[in-house]
C-alpha cells in the first residue's frame, strides 16, 4: 500500500493546542507568504480519534488567501486516513465557493487520488431536489385514499360476481385450494380461539360477579355472560384474533407472490387472479367465521360458568337455567351475522393489501401491517354500525 | 424470408410519469430467436411486460400477426396471450404446487383433457427440460437453474407460438447457462416456436440469437437493430460497443440507468 510510505515518516505528536475539543494529534498551521497560503500538516490524522473541520478557521484561511493559491506542506504528516480527506475537502469546498485557487500538490499522492474521486461524487451529494409541498402531499394522500376506496369496492364487486359464477360452477378455482384455506382459517385457528374466548368469558363473569354481588344479584352473572358473549364479545374477539392471524397471513402470502412474479405468471396465462387466489380465501374465511363463532361462544360461556361456580358458589344447574332463560335465538343469530360480515371484511382487506403491495421484502411487512390495522379498525367500525342498526330496530 | 410474427409499432412505455423507453419499433421474424439487449435498468424487462400484456404502452401498439394486441378487447387479448409462453426471471413458479402441478395448471384451466393426459403432457414437458425426476418436488426445493427450467416447461405447456424469456441465464453458472442456451435452440428447432429473450449475457446472445434490438438507458430509445454478432462486429454506437466489447463507458456516460 502506498500509505505505508507515510507511516514510515515518524513525526512526533504535537500536543493539542488551541481548542480543547480538537482531536488529538491532528495539527495544522497556516503560513502566509507572497506565494499564497501554505497549510502545514503535522501529526497523525486518524478518523477514530476524531474528525477535525474547524469551519471558522477554514473560512479565515480562505479570506486571508484572497486571490493567492492555497497549497499544502505534508512533510511533517504522520499516519492519515479519512480524517485528512474530510479536512482537505471541506477546505477545498470553501475555496471553490470563493474562487480561491486550490493546489493539492503538496498532499500525499494517494490522498490526491482519493480527493479526485470525491470531486466526481460531489455533485450527486447536493441534488437540490425539494419534496412536494404540504398541500401537494395532502392532495396526493387524499387522491390515494379515494382510489384505494374505489379498488376495495371493485374487489367487493368482483367477489360478488365470481361468487355468483361459482354457484353455477363456472369459476376457475382449485377445490384443494379452497379446502386448504378452510383448514387454515378453521381447524388450525381453534386453539387460539379457545384460549381467547374462554378467558374473555371468565373475565366478563369475574367483573360481573364483583359488581353484582354487591347488590345481591350474583345469580345474574349467568345472564351477563350469555348475552355479552352472544351479542358482542365472541364475534369481536374472534374477529380480532382472525384479523391478526389469517388476514395478516393472506396479505403476506399474496404480497410474496407479487414479489416472485407469480401473480404476473397467472395473468399472462390468462388465469383470473381473482377467481383463482382471492375467492377461495374469501369463501373460506366467510364460511369458517360463523363456525368459529358458535364454538367460541360455547367456550366463552364455559369460561364464565367455571368462574361463577368457583367464585360465587352458584350451582351448575342454576347457571344453566339462567343462561337458557336469558338467551333467545335472536341473540345468537345477531352474533352469527356479525361474524359472517367480519370474516368477509378481514379476507377482502387482507387480499387487497397483498395485491397492492410492491416487490420488496419491506413491502411484504407493510402489506401485513396494513391488513391487520385496517382489519381491526374495520371490525370495530362495523361492530358500531351493527350496534346502531340493532338499536334502531329495538333489538 | 419468413413473415413477421410480432411487430412493435412506435411504442413508448414507462411507470407513472417516468418514460422508460420511447419510439421503439421492430419486427420479430417467425421462428427466429430475437434478443432484447441493453445494460441493467434500461427497460428491457419493461418492454417485455408491454409485449406480453402486463403493462399498457403510453403510445403505439404491438401487433401479433396482423392483429392489434393493445387495441383488442381484454377477452381477445387474453386469447392471443394464451399463444404466448412466458418464463419470468426467477421462474415465478407457484410456490404452493409441485413442479408437475405447475406445468399442469394451464392445461387444467384451458383444455378439456382428462387427468391422465394432462399428467402425461406435463411429464413430457418436464422431461424435455430434463426434470422428469423432479416432478413431485416443490419449487422451494429446486435450485435456481432447475426452477428456470420448470418455468420453461410450464411456458411450453400449451404449446405456444411465441416463447418469451426474461434473462433466462442470469445468475446461472456457465455450464448451466450453456445447457439452457442449447435447450432454447432445440425448442426453437423442434417446435418451431418464435423466441424473444431479454438478456445481457454476452455468450448466450452471441451464441443463439439471430436478430435483436439494443436499448440505451441514456437516450431512452433503441440505438441499434440486428443480430448480436453483427452488432458486435459492425456497430459504431459507443453504448453498443461498450456493451459488446465490455469496454469502459465513455466519460459522462453511466452504464446503469435508473432501475424501475
Q: Last residue of some domain: A98, A125, A152?
A: A125
How many folded domains does chain A comprise?
A: 2
Which residues face B29 on adjacent strands? B4
A77 located within any domain = yes
Same-domain status, A218 and A300: yes
- Residues A38 and A94 grouped into a single domain: yes
* Confidence label for A347 from pLDDT (cuts 50, 70 and 90): very high
Distance between CA atoms of residues A301 and B138, nearest Å: 44
Residues A161 and A290 grouped into a single domain: yes
Task: Pick the residue of B49, B82, B109, B196 with the most A CBs within 10 A to test the interface with A by mutation.
Answer: B109
Following DSSP, what letter does each residue of A274-315 receive, concatenated? IIIIIHHHHHHHHHHHHHHHHHHHHHHHHHHHHHHHHHH---
In a domain, B81, yes or no: no
Does residue B137 lie within any of the structural domains? yes
Asked whether the ipTM of the predicted complex exceeds the cut of 0.85, the reply is no
Q: How confident is the model at residue A61 (pLDDT cuts 50, 70, 90)?
A: confident
Per the domain annotation, does B63 fall within a domain? no
* Same domain, residue pair A280 and A226: yes
Task: Among A17-21, A49-53, B8-12, B237-241, name the one with the lowest average pLDDT.
Answer: A17-21
Domain of B106 in residue numbering reads as 93-159
pTM of the model: 0.69
Is B104 a member of any domain? yes
Q: Do residues A200 and A314 both lie within one domain? A: yes
What confidence score (pLDDT) does residue A24 get?
65
Q: Which domain holds residue A261?
A: 137-392
Shortest distance between the Cα of B80 and any Cα of chain A, in A, equals 10
Q: Report the distance separating Cα B87 and Cα B90, nearest Å.
A: 8
Indicate the residue among A125, A147, A180 that finishes a domain. Answer: A125
| A79 and A220 fall within a common domain | no
Q: What is the pLDDT of residues A317-329, one digit of tens each?
A: 999 999 999 888 8
Residue A357 and residue A251 in contact, taking contact as beta carbons nearer than 8 Å: yes
- A63 and A191 both lie in a single domain: no
Span A159-198, pLDDT tens digits:
888 778 777 777 778 888 899 999 999 999 999 999 999 9
Q: How many domains does chain B have?
A: 1
Same domain, A87 and A160: no
| DSSP state letter for A130 | P
Q: What is the pLDDT of residues B97-128, one digit of tens each?
A: 899 999 999 888 888 888 888 888 888 888 88
HSE-CB at B73 with a 13 A cutoff on CA atoms is: 2
Has residue B118 been placed in a domain?
A: yes
Yes or no, beta carbons of B105 and A267 under 8 Å apart: no
The answer on A167 and A314 residing in a single domain is yes
Q: Residue A261 and residue B88: Cβ atoms within 8 Å? A: yes
Question: A35: domain CATH number?
Answer: 3.30.750.24
| CB-CB under 8 Å, A261 with B109 | no
Q: Contact B90/A261, CB-based, under 8 Å?
A: yes
- Inspect the interface and report whether the beta carbons of B86 and A268 lie closer than 8 Å: yes
Q: Is residue A130 part of a domain?
A: no
Identify the weakest region by mean pLDDT among A94-98, A121-125, A340-344, B176-180: A121-125
Q: Are A348 and A356 in contact (CB under 8 A)?
A: no
A180, A256, A268: residue with CB nearest B53: A268
Residues A163 and A196 grouped into a single domain? yes
Q: Does B96 touch chain A (CB under 8 A)?
A: yes
* Mean per-residue pLDDT of chain A: 84
Angle at B256 between CA B19 and CA A113, to 5 degrees: 140
Whether residue A132 lies inside any domain: the answer is no
Same domain, A93 and A152: no
Amino acid at each position: 500500500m502506498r500509505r505505508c510510505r507515510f507511516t514510515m515518516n515518524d513525526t512526533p505528536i504535537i500536543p493539542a493546542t488551541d481548542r480543547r475539543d480538537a482531536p488529538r494529534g491532528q495539527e495544522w498551521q497556516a503560513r502566509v507568504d507572497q506565494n499564497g497560503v501554505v497549510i502545514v500538516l503535522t501529526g497523525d490524522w486518524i478518523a477514530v480519534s476524531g474528525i477535525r473541520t474547524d469551519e471558522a478557521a477554514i473560512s479565515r484561511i480562505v479570506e486571508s488567501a484572497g486571490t493567492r493559491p492555497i497549497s499544502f506542506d505534508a512533510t511533517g504528516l504522520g499516519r492519515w486516513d479519512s480524517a485528512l480527506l474530510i479536512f482537505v475537502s471541506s477546505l477545498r469546498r470553501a475555496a471553490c465557493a470563493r474562487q480561491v485557487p486550490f493546489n493539492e500538490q503538496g498532499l500525499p499522492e494517494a490522498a490526491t487520488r482519493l480527493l479526485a474521486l470525491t470531486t466526481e461524487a460531489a455533485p450527486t451529494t447536493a441534488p437540490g431536489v425539494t419534496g412536494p409541498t404540504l398541500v401537494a402531499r395532502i392532495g396526493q394522500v387524499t387522491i390515494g385514499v379515494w382510489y384505494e376506496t374505489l379498488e376495495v369496492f371493485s374487489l367487493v364487486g368482483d367477489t360478488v360476481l365470481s361468487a355468483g359464477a361459482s354457484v353455477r360452477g363456472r369459476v376457475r378455482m382449485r377445490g384443494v385450494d379452497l379446502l386448504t384455506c378452510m383448514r387454515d382459517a378453521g381447524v388450525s385457528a381453534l386453539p387460539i380461539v379457545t384460549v381467547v374466548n374462554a378467558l374473555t368469558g371468565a373475565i366478563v363473569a369475574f367483573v360481573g360477579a364483583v359488581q353484582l354481588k354487591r347488590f345481591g344479584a350474583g345469580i345474574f352473572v349467568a345472564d351477563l355472560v350469555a348475552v355479552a358473549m352472544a351479542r358482542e364479545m365472541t364475534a369481536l374477539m374472534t374477529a380480532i384474533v382472525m384479523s391478526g392471524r389469517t388476514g395478516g397471513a393472506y396479505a403476506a402470502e399474496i404480497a410474496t407472490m407479487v414479489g416472485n412474479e407469480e401473480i404476473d405468471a397467472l395473468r399472462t396465462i390468462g388465469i383470473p387472479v381473482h377467481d383463482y387466489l382471492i375467492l377461495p380465501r374469501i369463501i373460506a374465511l366467510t364460511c369458517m367465521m360463523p363456525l368459529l363463532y358458535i364454538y367460541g361462544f360455547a367456550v366463552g360461556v364455559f369460561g364464565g360458568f367455571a368462574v361463577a361456580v368457583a367464585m360465587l358458589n352458584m350451582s351448575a344447574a342454576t347457571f344453566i337455567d339462567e343462561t337458557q332463560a336469558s338467551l333467545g335465538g335472536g341473540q345468537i343469530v345477531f352474533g352469527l351475522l356479525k361474524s359472517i360480515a367480519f370474516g368477509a371484511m378481514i379476507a377482502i382487506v387482507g387480499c387487497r393489501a397483498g395485491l397492492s403491495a410492491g416487490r420488496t421484502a419491506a413491502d411484504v411487512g407493510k402489506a401485513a401491517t396494513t391488513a391487520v390495522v385496517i382489519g381491526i379498525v374495520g371490525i370495530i367500525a362495523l361492530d358500531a354500525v351493527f350496534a346502531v342498526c340493532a338499536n334502531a330496530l329495538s333489538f | 424470408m419468413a413473415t413477421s410474427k410480432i411487430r412493435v409499432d412506435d411504442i413508448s412505455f414507462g411507470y407513472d410519469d417516468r418514460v422508460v423507453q420511447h419510439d421503439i419499433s421492430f419486427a420479430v421474424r417467425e421462428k427466429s430467436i430475437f434478443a432484447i439487449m441493453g445494460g441493467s435498468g434500461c427497460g428491457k424487462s419493461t418492454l417485455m411486460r408491454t409485449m406480453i400484456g402486463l403493462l399498457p404502452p403510453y403510445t403505439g401498439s404491438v401487433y401479433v400477426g396482423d392483429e392489434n394486441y393493445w387495441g383488442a378487447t381484454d377477452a381477445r387479448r387474453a386469447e392471443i396471450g394464451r399463444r404466448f409462453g412466458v418464463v419470468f426471471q426467477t421462474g415465478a413458479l407457484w410456490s404452493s404446487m409441485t413442479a408437475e402441478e405447475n406445468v399442469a395448471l394451464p392445461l387444467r384451466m384451458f383444455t378439456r383433457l382428462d387427468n391422465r393426459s394432462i399428467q402425461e403432457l406435463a411429464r413430457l414437458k418436464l422431461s424435455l427440460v430434463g426434470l422428469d425426476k423432479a416432478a413431485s418436488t416443490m419449487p422451494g426445493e429446486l435450485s435456481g437453474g432447475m426452477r428456470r427450467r420448470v418455468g420453461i416447461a410450464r411456458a411450453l405447456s400449451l404449446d405456444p407460438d411465441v416463447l418469451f424469456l426474461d434473462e433466462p441465464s442470469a445468475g446461472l453458472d456457465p455450464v448451466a447457462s450453456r445447457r439452457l442456451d442449447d435447450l432454447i435452440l432445440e425448442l426453437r428447432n423442434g417446435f418451431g416456436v418464435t423466441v424473444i429473450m431479454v438478456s445481457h449475457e454476452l455468450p448466450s446472445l452471441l451464441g443463439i440469437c439471430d436478430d435483436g434490438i439494443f436499448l440505451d438507458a441514456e437516450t431512452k430509445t433503441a440505438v441499434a437493430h440486428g443480430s448480436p454478432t453483427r452488432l458486435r462486429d459492425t456497430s459504431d454506437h459507443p453504448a453498443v460497443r461498450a456493451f459488446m466489447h465490455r469496454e469502459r463507458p465513455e466519460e459522462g456516460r453511466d452504464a446503469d440507468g435508473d432501475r424501475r
